[in-house]
Chains A and B, each alone.
Chain A
Amino acid sequence: MDWITIISTTVKAAIGVETVWYALAAIGINIHFGYTGLLNFGQSAFLAVAGYGLAVTVTVLGLPFWIGIGVGLLAAVLLAVVLGIPTLRLRADYLAIVTIAAAEIVRLVFRSVAFKDVFGGSDGRRGFSDGFYALNPFPEGEYGFGWLLFGERTLWVLVVGWILVGISCAIVFLLMKSPWGRVLKAIREDEDAVRSLGKNVFSYKMQSLILGGVIGCLGGFIYGLAYASVQPDIFGTETTFFAYTIVILGGAARVFGPVVGSAIFWVLLVLVNGVLSGAVESGIITFMDSTQVGPFRFLLVGLGLILLLVFRPQGIFGDKREIAIDAR
């Protein structure tokens, strides 16, 4: 087995593009679910509208990159408002179903043949990231040391991505220490009590939905820019569910939970993939062929999610007394 490759890809995964964009999506979910108790199962739609907002603005309308980012952010805010007005008064399980349905609608519309001229059907859109890479301060070349090397484009995406993750964490940290965050956590515990103390619960839930959606949508930008393309099926419900797994893995209602969770999630995924693929190729494992390795790791994700909730609902680093997922 090629251990060097396995280890280098694993280490790269810890800070890689997947980790970044999933971390952003998960930070958003942490605000919704971990702090406010909103069961938003439509997070992928926020990533999708942002990615497509950028892509369509640049490729179809021919406008500059920055306007595309603006359109993407605006689309995420709009989606939060449109989704929030009807659903934030519903019970938690209804909210889950409505948001997941809304996310599917968004995905189906983006991949539809009817709107192919705008959204590009199931192929999605490409060719909108030049504006971003034009800003790249790193000259062409390989960066890093030993076998931990990144091309200048990847490095640029990662630098921007981690800065966004850092800013998002700082915002969450500041907010959750403030009276604003206190209201959110109180809503998670009991809405009626918060109402009886003169707080406009609906308004706070909406603010939470918008904030989490906007932070999540940054993940959509990072994906789109890193791969220079967006496809509808990247933003399916499984993306949302993986982000939930990440939040729970790192510990819900913890500032760095989603980031740590995302790194662990992708490290494990890449490591399992590398080890199993290597084992299959060198004939150590015979009951599986190399095409089954991919699905097998996602099977492990499912198993991991079950085991986490059953045995460590507070996540790897969470505090049992503070867990957001309550016996309700």
Chain B
Amino acid sequence: MNGVKIVVTTESGQPVQEVTSDAKGTWEVPVEKAGKYKVTLDVSTLPPNLQVRGGSNTRTPTVYEGNPASVLFALQPKTAAGAEPEQSGGGGSAFWERAAQLTFEGLNLGLIIALAALGLSLIYGTTGLTNFAHGELVTLGALLAYAFNTGIGLHLIPAALIAVILAGGLGYAQDRFFWGQLRRRGTGIIAAMIVSIGVAIFLRYLFLILFGGQSEAFAQYNAQPGIQVGPISAAPKNFVAMGIELLVLIVVGVALLRTRTGKAARAVADNPAPAASSGINVDRVIRIIWTVGGAIAALAGIMLGLSQNLKFTMGQDILLLIFAGVTLGGLGTAFGALVGSIIVGLFIQVSTLWVPPELKSVGALAVLIIVLLFRPQGILGRRERIG
């Protein structure tokens, strides 16, 4: 419906903006802060033969940070006053549709977390480093792709490819020139953990300086119209992204299971000392893990940038979820990290059926704490032998 005036105010009545709906009848009001808003439809601007279904021309949606809230005014032909408004039917099936939709979104998020978690977990397993800067590797990938994409003007797909390769190289360099050197100096795991915090802060603010504090989107695949698959509606890019994520995870998984390097990596992650004594070049394995870990973390960042927006804190924001995935699956176990991450992703999205979206991470973190209490070794980890 074109030309209908919408007035948005805060809960207490302070005006935010007035907009007029466009030709398709949609409108958008950017709001600064999360909170409750009051949306009023000016009935006098409606065509004379229509009215708002249900009669009330105001809505009070609650807007959460980063999540647009949609406000719908269903219109119907004007009927005689006092006529019963139509009932909207089928509450039960709506619940299941939403559940399916959220499961899909959760799976997408879980796969992204898994990409990042795999590298983090293997690095922990092989070097004992709890890397707080891993989130920044995720951001790095997204920002690199963005730079090639909008800065140089490459299409997103080659830009992403270059970014992933470059991030892999940077991962290699990070181990070759930094972490590897620290290991050689005999830096303790706690000291190394705090060093990684320094690295995280350093990179985060470097990104802020170079990229700025705003949110951006890639040049392509930006506003794709959704398609309906069964109960799920999503933009095609999401299906493709999930396909790529799955493919990469399977390739890395098969590589871990089948190739010599992969087996060596798992052996080192399991127990570095005997692995070294059985002739595995531990340093080389660690360097490969850093390279691959950096590359797939970058891919995770690009995928995250596709489904959300790019921001210099995007990696930091997801870091705890990556930790949750890794710990849930058992620190240091590669496949545990996959399972844990997908559980975390699913849990976060599906839990919004019951909890407000702004608190969805709270649930995941609470679950992480509870799991650590009862099964500190994680879901797939093994009990440590004492004595």
B263 at the interface (CB under 8 A from A): no
Cβ-defined contact, B193 with A241, below 8 A: no
Structural contact, B190 and A325, CB atoms closer than 8 A: yes
A113 touching B36, Cβ below 8 Å: yes
Q: Are A39 and B190 in contact (CB under 8 A)?
A: yes
The reply to whether A98 and B190 contact each other, CB–CB distance below 8 Å, is: no
Instruction: Tell me, yes or no, whether B159 is within 8 Å of chain A by CB.
Output: no
Give the size range of B's interface with the partner: 35 or more
Contacts of B193 in A (CB 8 A): 39, 93, 96
Number of A-B contacts (CB under 8 A): 146
Shortest A11–chain B CB gap in Å is 26
- Verify B35–A296 contact, CB threshold 8 A: no
Least Cβ–Cβ distance between B93 and chain A, in angstroms: 27
For the complex formed, measure the closest distance between the CB of A60 and the CB atoms of chain B, giving whole angstroms: 17
Asked whether B359 lies within 8 Å of A109 as measured between CB atoms, the reply is yes
Chain B 60-87, CB-CB to A under 8 Å as 1, else 0, gives 0011110000000000000000000000
Task: Say yes or no: is B96 at the interface (Cβ < 8 Å to chain A).
Answer: no
What's the least CB distance linking A255 to chain B, in Å?
Answer: 21
- Cβ < 8 Å to B, chain A residues 74-125: 86-87, 90-94, 96-98, 100-102, 104-105, 108-109, 111-114, 116, 121-123
Q: Does A248 contact B (CB under 8 A)?
A: yes
The reply on A177 being an interface residue by CB < 8 A is no
**B197 touches A (CB below 8 Å):** yes
Contact B197 A101 (CB under 8 A): no
A299 at the binding interface (Cβ < 8 Å)? yes
Cβ of B366 under 8 Å from chain A: yes
Residue contact B368 to A101, C-beta cutoff 8 Å: yes
A127 at the interface (CB under 8 A from B): no
A-B CB proximity, top 6 nearest = A302-B202, A305-B198, A302-B201, A306-B198, A299-B205, A327-B188
Complex A-B: 25 CB contacts under 8 Å: A86-B369, A86-B372, A86-B373, A91-B376, A93-B193, A94-B331, A94-B372, A97-B323, A97-B368, A101-B365, A104-B361, A105-B365, A105-B366, A108-B358, A122-B34, A123-B33, A241-B201, A288-B209, A292-B209, A298-B204, A302-B198, A302-B201, A302-B202, A306-B202, A309-B198
Could you tell me which A residues sit within 8 Å of B by CB distance?
39, 86-87, 90-94, 96-98, 100-102, 104-105, 108-109, 111-114, 116, 121-123, 238, 241, 244-245, 248, 288, 292, 295-296, 298-299, 301-306, 308-310, 313, 325-328
